Structure formats: C-alpha cells, structure tokens
Structure 1
Amino acid sequence: MPNFTQLRTTMVDTQVRPSDVTKFPIIQSMLTVPREAFVPADKRSAAYVGEHLDLGHGRVVLDPRVLAKMLDDLDIQSDELVLDIGAGLGYSSAVMSHMAEAVIAVEEDPEMAAAAAKNLMEAGVDNVVVETAALAEGAPQHGPYDVVILQGGVESLPDAILSQVKSGGRIVCIFIEGALGIVRMGYNIDGEINWRASFNATAPVLPGFEAEKAFAL
C-alpha cells in the first residue's frame, strides 16, 4: 500500500512549490486533502503523478501544478463563494473548501456527481454543495459568485457562465486554441469581463464549452 501522506508531501514539494505557488492556504490544503480518495479506485496508485488523471468520458482531474497555479491566481478568501464547474469526483472542490466560505460543485455526469458527494462527505467536507446539472449552465440559483473556476478546457464560454461572476469577482479557465492552451484570469469590472493571460496549460475541453462548428458550403 503506498504511503499516501508521503506522496502528498512529495507532490507539494516537487510539483506545487517549484511552480511558484507559495500561498499558505493552497499549500496547506493540498497537503491536507487526500487526492487518492477523489480518483477512480484503479487509479489511486497514480493519484500523485504530475499530470492530468483520466476520469473517462474525456474528463480529467487537473494536473496538481495546473490547479495550484489557477488557485494562486484566484487568491480565494475565507468569506468567498466559489463555483466549481466540472467538479468530477470532488477533488478540486475539497481543496477549495479549505479556502472559501462555501463551494458549489457542478457536475453533469450523475455517477460522478454522486461519487463526489460521497467522497466529500467521507472526507468530512461540509461546506460544498454538489449540483447535478449541465456544466454550461453553472448553478445560477446559488450565485452570483466571487470566484468561478472550470476544471477542464474551454473553446467558447457561454454567457450563462459569465453572468454568474459577481461584479468585482473573477473567473479562471484554460482556453484551448488549436493545439495550444492558455490559462486566463477574468475580472468582472462594471459588468464586463476583462481577461489577462497567466500561463500555458492544456486540458480536454469540457462538454458544453466546445467552439461552434462553422459549416462550409
């Protein structure tokens, strides 16, 4: 049986800290949350590798470095409400639960959503609500949100998601442009999302966030 506590420490020391992620709440949360409890049972031995972890159906648990750097950009505060889109089996929501006041985790795959709720409960996380809904719709009934994060790639962002970012709030996602991907931070300033590039990363595009296909005659 792997020593998951040691693997978690190694992940933080060799993947997260060298990526210039130094904020204490992120480091502490990633040292605390048992990543192996939020991945498929047959992938537990690979829970701490430095790459995306396949959940099937084109979905992944983001590479620890990528998630940590996105969280570093967001700088979540203890009084903030977070929308986590594409929460999968609940790992990202569990990590952010230690930083935010509450997290709304949206997952459209019913089996993943049920597993996420179970995993979070077993981990003792009590400030995350799992909603089973289309990812591209978000969870407007709980919003607007201080922070919105997407756990996968995006080619096109629906207005339904952008409208859930509170005035003064922020959104982070991995924009996929051809073979390349770039993480961008968006800030809602007077109702307009102002974007800035942060770092390069890639991930499978989330369902509902694909670019509309242009039809050629």
Structure 2
Amino acid sequence: MSIEQARFNMIEQQIRPWDVLDQGVLSLLAVVKREDFVPAEHRAKAFFDTEIPLGHGQFMLAPRVEARFLQELDVRKHERVLEVGTGSGYMAALLAHKAREVVSVELQPELAKAAIANLRRASITNAVVLEGDASKGLPTQGPFDVIVLSGSVASVPKALLAELKVGGRLIAIVGQEPVMRATIVTRVGEQEFRNVEVFDTVAPRLSGFDEPSRFTF
C-alpha cells in the first residue's frame, strides 16, 4: 500500500467516522505529512489508530484524537496558541496552519530538539518550541487564545487557565483510567470558566503534571 493510500484510509476509515466532518480539518490532515513526525522505528505505524511512542514515556496522540481536537477548537488565523507537550511537533504543525502563532513547550530536551528539526523540515515558520515545564503556566509568553494539552492530566492546573484570554479556550483529556474525557474549558470572565466534555477517550499522561494523592484516611 502506498503512503498516500494509507493516509487516505486513515482519514476516511478512522477520522471521518469519529465525527470529524470539518472539511478544513480533513484537508489539513491530507497536507501535513504525519509520517515525517514519527520516529523512524515506528514509521510503519504512522497512520495506525493508536498512540505512537516517542521515548521518555511520551507518545503521539492517536490521529482521530488530534483531528477531534482541531475540530472542537476551531482555531482562527488571528489566534495565538500554546501547546503543552510538543512531542514530535506534529500537533504544533497542524495548529500552525490554522493559527497566527504557536508556542509549544516540551519538558524533555531530546524531544524538543527533534520537534524543532521536524518543524523546520516541514517549513513551519510560525511555531516555536521551548524546552521547559509549562504545567505552572507561561506568564512571559501569554496570554493565549487557545491552549492544547497533548496528553492526559488528572486535572487542569489553575496556572494554565490563568494564561487564557477572556473568550479563550483550553482542551485537555482529563481523568483517570479507565474514564477520561476530552474537555474544553472556556474563560467566560476574569474569574469565570465553563467546562464542556466533548468526547470520551483514554490517552497517556503528560509529564510534569501532579497526580492526586492516593492516600486514604
């Protein structure tokens, strides 16, 4: 099977049936070459309906989850986006095609370096990758119109919500296995936020985020 046939199958057999019907998103997935962001040893799985290991305990999200993120967020050309968890840089590349600017933060130095190279090869010029821990917020870079957590968390830190502009939205996969939900948090006022659960899924944890205490009394 050719790469283009595999890409077509991914879009038509995995992503479209998962209620991704936005033609702009589907066209973008056909243009940005996912295989170029997958580690060489896993390239044969680039279009599989699964997470792809990147090393250091981190993963690329499954293609259908990435697509749903893009559709639910409906990023606009004037917007600034923060991504937490750069991974291979693929989601940053997708977001960069839709946004004015993307700031992507990666905790693992080796992944950050690889993502920078991947984005450069893809001729993405409006996305910057920073090495560091964004779980406590990024006040020197914010505020942002959109924040994307490219992995799951037990809960969304208030420090990240503080980086949203009023009217801005954050998407994250929140919860504990086996129950996790992709959730959009919209900042509707200076101190007011609205949560909407948009779909159920399970995804690997993002590094650097606190887990709830397991102690019971």
Sort the TM-score into its range (normalised by shorter chain): over 0.9
Counterpart residue type for residue 9 of structure 2: T
Structure 2 equivalent of residue 89 of structure 1: 88
Counterpart residue type for residue 57 of structure 2: G
Structure 2 equivalent of residue 80 of structure 1: 79
CA distance in 1, matches of 2:66, 2:156: 19
RMSD: 1.5
Q: Secondary structure at the match of 2:140?
A: helix
1:201 is aligned to 2:201: yes
Report % sequence identity: 37
Deviation at 1:139, TM superposition (A): 3.1
Runs of 4+ in 1 over 4 A off after TM superposition: none
Instruction: Confirm or deny: 8 A CA contact 1:146 1:165 kept in the other structure.
Output: yes
Instruction: Confirm or deny: 8 A CA contact 1:155 1:211 kept in the other structure.
Output: yes
CA distance in 2, matches of 1:28, 1:137: 35
Instruction: Confirm or deny: 8 A CA contact 1:33 1:94 kept in the other structure.
Output: yes
Deviation at 1:33, TM superposition (A): 0.9
CA distance in 2, matches of 1:115, 1:178: 29
Q: TM-score, normalised by structure 1?
A: 0.94
Deviation at 1:216, TM superposition (A): 4.4
Instruction: Confirm or deny: 8 A CA contact 2:107 2:208 kept in the other structure.
Output: no
Structure 2 equivalent of residue 170 of structure 1: 169
Instruction: Confirm or deny: 8 A CA contact 1:81 1:101 kept in the other structure.
Output: yes
Q: Name whichever of 144-153 and 174-183 sits farther off.
A: 174-183
Instruction: Confirm or deny: 8 A CA contact 1:176 1:205 kept in the other structure.
Output: no
Structure 2 equivalent of residue 107 of structure 1: 106
CA distance in 2, matches of 1:129, 1:139: 14
1:148 is aligned to 2:144: no
Q: Would the alpha carbon gap of residues 138 and 117 (structure 1) be closer, same or farther in structure 2, given more than 3 Å must change?
A: farther
Structure 1 equivalent of residue 136 of structure 2: 137
Gaps of 5+ in 2: none
CA distance in 2, matches of 1:20, 1:216: 40
Residues 130-170 of structure 1: CA distance to partner in whole angstroms, max 9, x if unpaired?
A: 01111313433221111111110010222221111111100
